[in-house]
Chain A
Amino acid sequence: MSALLDIIPQSAQVEVHRPWPRHIVTAEGWTHVAQQIAAGRATLLDLWAAGDDAPAVHMALIDEASGDIAVVSLPCPDGRFPSVGALHPAAIRFERAIQSLHGFQSTGAPDPRPWIDLGFWDVQHPLGAREAAPAERSAYTFLPVEGESLHQIPVGPVHAGIIEPGHFRFTASGETVVRLEERLGYVHKGIESLMSDVPIAQAAKLAARTSGDSTVAYGIAFAHAVEAARSIDAPPRARYLRALMAELERLANHFGDIGAVCNDASFALMHAHCGVLRELALRVADGCFGHRLMMDRVVPGGVSADLDASGASLIREMLSHVRRRFPRLIELYDNTASLQDRTAATGILHTELARQFGAPGFIGRASGRNFDARKTPGYAPYVDLDFTVPVLTAGDVNARIWIRIREVEQSIALIEQILDRLPDGPIMRALDAGTARGEGLGLAESFRGEVLAWVRLDGQRVARCRLRDPSWLQWPLLEAVIEGNIVADFPLCNKSFNCSYSGHDL
């Protein structure tokens, strides 16, 4: 803990918070930590608020070198806290969301505009002191853009394809995008509110439906948090089965993404072939665990479905098919000049920006950020498995495809190791009938990056749960990446990011 302890001022520590410490700081201490994050001495993982009986804001941070994690909390009974976003831009949207959802004011915040709340609800500050929304919706002001011959292109919320809704406001000079501004929140379902004071099993179902493409990863992150709060571990076989499901999920999503990016460059052949591989992975998941997306198969305490011998042979059969087919697709991607022309040097995310935002997943790893929650902080069973984390520095659409390609290869190797070493034993450890309060923080590496789950348990119920999708720290970077590219390359850039709307909007 030394490195992180150095930047967190001497302060009271919350006893029931596991597995990493939570410190209660003063406003000065809060700003000090924010300054340290801004100086690059720690990475901001999340910034959220609790508006219940003990109003407070919380920051989760990580020392990427050591893997140490800590939560820093500032009680704010008067509903005010010093802005982190004023020092560290990655915090700006978190603070805007806190202001809209909880009604807490971040003093000195650079952008006071609402976020997530689009003015359609009956209430204001639904997670804080609720009050009736004003009768008139106030107009939203997009950032000003000045210059000659500029035009705007509003896109969404309903998009042209089969994708989630959101609004993109492009300002273009001829074909070149000079600014993109996102407006999100259209699929906000109030998940944090629905997860307040509910039985653990109900909260697990909601966590599994936060972003359907990452349902396994959400299940694992939530289970990690609950198990930490209860100081228990799932049985070894369950940990292995979770990793098996997580790697199947990663394979399916990466196949889908690789094909979909190529499709947005009008190269439908890759899309068709990758679609077949994705379907095979989903059918194997269905054959093994009874659900194509493996929803609700990871639960606090273990897993709800076991793997039998026929399931294992289904998986091995699928892997051997992929091992034959996938290299030919990589070759096709790599040797098609017209496709490379679209993906190489397009939508570059600079390494410094990726570092500053702690860009999760393949987005960070394509821009030099060597981070993967399976390694740092690491969790079972990955600490016992042999795999590498691919990292590139070009930061373009092409690099984001190549990271996925390399991760497919790693996932295949991981699944083979898991099948070879799968321990016998129970798949579930019952959560005891404890009545105590406990807090837990859990991480899991989804295909898109690390998912965070923070819970406060009150006996058998979840008093409060915070879920942070990796997209929170990726969406803002898409705005930077598209700048200077042509409008027609936006679908490529966007698909190469493939951020979750639902996971972000909650």
Chain B
Amino acid sequence: MHRPLTEARPAPDDMATAELALSVMRAARRRLGRSLAIRQVDAGSCNGCELEIHALNNAFYDLERFGLRFVASPRHADVLLVTGPVTRNMRQALERTYQATPDPKWVVAVGQCAADGGIFAGSYAVTGGVGAVVPVDLHISGCPPTPLQLLRGLLGLLEAGN
């Protein structure tokens, strides 16, 4: 009666793949197989990015079919998915989360704020982007990025190193 809701996988984002090629080594695929464990860290977002990251788990996007899944602890993670302009109040928590994540690890900065502080840049209360605090391997732009943009970026991360 009904077709499945889950939609065909999108093509990996070309820009994302290009950016990744610089920072992700071929060993990633061999070490990790087709699986990435993601720990999401809100470092000061307005929660718009979180809503769209959440949507990745719904039946339409079904993130887990790509071997990508969200985990509860940085100790279990390969990837930190960081949103927000990194408030000064979250800086230490982000650094500690990064330190708690075992190598090899990648940091994906999600949204305009995470890239450069976005509309909150220049405030006494923000550092001005994820790159100001921890090394970033990939930026996914948007305010907030759509689930499809997020999926393209993450697939790029998975496929880099082929």
Contacts and interface: CB of A to CB of B under 8 A. Distances in A.
B93 A165 contact: yes
Contacts of B51: 212-213, 256, 293
Contacts of A190: 120, 123-126
B130 to A, nearest CB: 14
A293 B126 CA distance: 24
Given A120-B92, A165-B93, A187-B90, A212 B46 contact: yes
Nearest to A202: B119
A194 B47 CA distance: 18
B62 to A, nearest CB: 10
A194 B46 CA distance: 15
Contacts, number: 134
B157 interface: no
Nearest to A167: B93
Interface string A261-289: 00000000000100110110010001000
B45 interface: yes
Nearest to B100: A158
A157 B90 contact: yes
B87 A162 contact: no
B156 interface: no
A161 interface: yes
Interface in B19-68: 40-55, 57-60
Contacts of B74: 158
Given A276-B58, A276-B59, A164 B89 contact: no
A164 B42 contact: yes
Q: What range describes how many residues of A lie at the interface?
A: 35 or more
Interface in B81-116: 84-85, 87-93, 97
B8 interface: no
Nearest to B146: A292
A194 B5 contact: no
B47 A121 contact: no
Nearest to B41: A158
Contacts of A286: 146
B119 A186 contact: no
A361 interface: no
B85 A502 contact: no
B1 interface: no
Q: What range describes how many residues of B lie at the interface?
A: 35 or more
B143 interface: yes
B129 interface: no
Contacts of B57: 275
B153 interface: no
B131 interface: no
B42 A163 contact: yes
A209 B143 CA distance: 9
A171 interface: no
Q: Which of A165, A191, A275 has the most CB of B within 10 A?
A: A165
Contacts of A162: 40, 42, 50, 53-54, 70
Nearest to A194: B123
A16 interface: no
Contacts of B47: 164, 211-213, 500-502
Nearest to A123: B124
B73 A160 contact: yes
Contacts of B70: 161-162
A64 B45 CA distance: 34
Q: Which of A126, A160, A191, A275 has the most CB of B within 10 A?
A: A275
Interface in B120-158: 120, 122-126, 143-144, 146
B107 to A, nearest CB: 14
Interface string A68-95: 0000000000000000000000000000
A189 interface: yes
A214 B4 CA distance: 31
Interface in A176-191: 185-191
Given A206-B119, A213-B51, 17 more contacts: A120-B88, A121-B124, A126-B124, A157-B90, A158-B74, A161-B70, A162-B50, A185-B89, A190-B124, A190-B125, A194-B120, A209-B120, A210-B46, A212-B46, A279-B55, A282-B55, A502-B47
Interface of B: 5, 40-55, 57-60, 70, 72-74, 84-85, 87-93, 97, 119-120, 122-126, 143-144, 146
21 contacts: A118-B89, A157-B93, A158-B97, A160-B73, A165-B41, A186-B44, A187-B42, A187-B45, A190-B124, A193-B124, A194-B123, A206-B119, A209-B143, A256-B54, A272-B58, A275-B57, A276-B58, A279-B55, A279-B58, A292-B52, A500-B47
The 10 closest A-B pairs by CB, nearest first: A212-B48, A190-B123, A190-B125, A275-B58, A160-B72, A212-B46, A120-B88, A209-B46, A189-B120, A212-B47
Interface of A: 118, 120-123, 126, 157-158, 160-165, 185-191, 193-194, 205-206, 209-213, 215, 256, 272, 275-276, 278-279, 282, 286, 292-293, 295, 500-502
